[in-house]
Chain A
Amino acid sequence: MFGHKDKEVAFFGKITAGITHEINNVLAIIKESSGLLEDILAVTGEDTFPHKEKFKKALKRILGQIQRGVAITNNLNWFAHSSDHSPTSVDLNEVTEQMVLLASRFARLKNVGLETGPKDGPFIIKTHPVALQMALFISIEIFLDLITSGGKITLFPRKIQNNYVVGIHFEGMTADDANLPQAIITSDRWAFLQETMACLGGSAQADESASGILLYFTET
């Protein structure tokens, strides 16, 4: 898996990272231009003009959306650069936090909460970052496929005995009130998740006691 595919992924990452730089520049220009409008507004003092309040509200909305845009491009940039070096050392906490941000839209569309659990660590492993992120994302997708709406998915990196593990757990109702561990291992994506984890030198297991998936990592 990690041969020509790695080069394709690196190419994809490089182009995406370049585009995020461009988007960032556009956001910086909009930010400073709207900031200039704010400055001008501030020196108008008590002077008023028609629709001044609407103008101020619109300006505030622009600045809010710039902040949102900057956060999104920062996440995308981080994701694009994850293909720069493979294998490389990563902190499982950082990767799961970024994946929660990147996958938040997919969860939001299902009205499902997505978050990381209590932070411990750091848990540093040498691995292939793109495949690792893919494993986390497939795990999230497995739950999203099984959920009709509502509930919460939590990603929780930790150390169990000598293994680094990311637990992905769900709290809430599944479609048809299915038995969750059984539904996980019979889902369409389960084989793909196992294959991805095997490429990382690890494994995926259904966690029967806590309604979730456990991803076991070993250093590669």
Chain B
Amino acid sequence: MKEMKVLLVDDEEEFVKSLSERMEMRDLKSDVSLSGEQALKTMDEDLPDVMVLDLKMPGMDGMEVLRRAKKAYPGVQIIMLTGHGSEKDEKEARRLGVFEYLQKPVEFEKLMRVVTNAYKKKFESSMSAVTFAEAGEFDTARKILEDEKKK
């Protein structure tokens, strides 16, 4: 598996920086964005495999970032991490294709497990394209690889 790229998005700078440093202690590199707008810009420049996204942020909120990111880069796995999101928010996030919806503050080891599982899902999806291509199912493989092409 190639090295995982994680993007942490939260307007609470000290929170994301602490998370990023803890990930670094476990040899996991991550980028940090402090707003929804900045997150989308970062995605255009350097597409992450997994994004950990806050829901409530000034300006563009997490739900809008999720909507746009999934439309532009469906292969990216997004984990929503929110203070006190409502059931309605969770339902909407799941409808938009969020990988997991977690409450803040989350146990760090749990977050690491979810991030790893999200990456595995993305990796397996890419590998399945290879499997389909080998079996001559080129249309299916092409469809799966559309996500990757958008990189």
| A interface residue numbers (CB < 8 A to B) | 17, 20-21, 24-25, 27-29, 31-33, 35-36, 39-40, 43, 66, 70, 74, 77, 81
Q: Which residues of A contact B15 (CB under 8 A)?
A: 25, 28-29, 32
Interface residues on B, range: 10 to 19
Q: Is the CB of A25 within 8 A of B25?
A: no
Interface string of B1-40 (1 = CB under 8 A from A): 0000000000010110011011001000000000000000
Residue numbers of B with Cβ under 8 A of A are: 12, 14-15, 18-19, 21-22, 25, 56, 83-84, 86, 104-105, 108
B18 touches A43 (CB 8 A): no
Please name 12 further chain A to chain B contacts, defined as beta carbons within 8 Å, in addition to the given A36-B25, A81-B84, A81-B86, sorted by A numbering.
A21-B84, A24-B83, A24-B84, A24-B105, A25-B83, A27-B105, A35-B18, A35-B22, A36-B21, A36-B22, A39-B22, A77-B84
> Could you tell me the dominant secondary structure of chain A's interface residues?
helix
Least CB distance from A40 to B in Å reads 7
Residue of B nearest to A78 (CB): B84
Interchain Cβ contacts under 8 Å between A and B, 27 examples: A20-B84, A21-B83, A24-B83, A24-B105, A25-B12, A27-B105, A28-B12, A28-B83, A28-B104, A29-B12, A29-B14, A29-B15, A29-B18, A32-B18, A32-B22, A33-B14, A35-B18, A35-B22, A35-B108, A36-B21, A36-B25, A39-B22, A39-B25, A40-B25, A43-B25, A66-B105, A81-B86
In whole angstroms, how far apart are the Cα atoms of A43 and B22 in the complex? 12
Instruction: Give min CB distance, B62 to chain A, whole Å.
Output: 13
Given the contacts A40-B25, A43-B25, A32 and B108 also touching, CB distance less than 8 Å: yes
Residue of B nearest to A33 (CB): B18
Residues of A within 8 A of B56 (CB): 21
Please give, as numbers and ranges, the residues of chain A lying within 8 Å of B105 by CB-CB distance.
Answer: 24, 27-28, 31-32, 66, 70
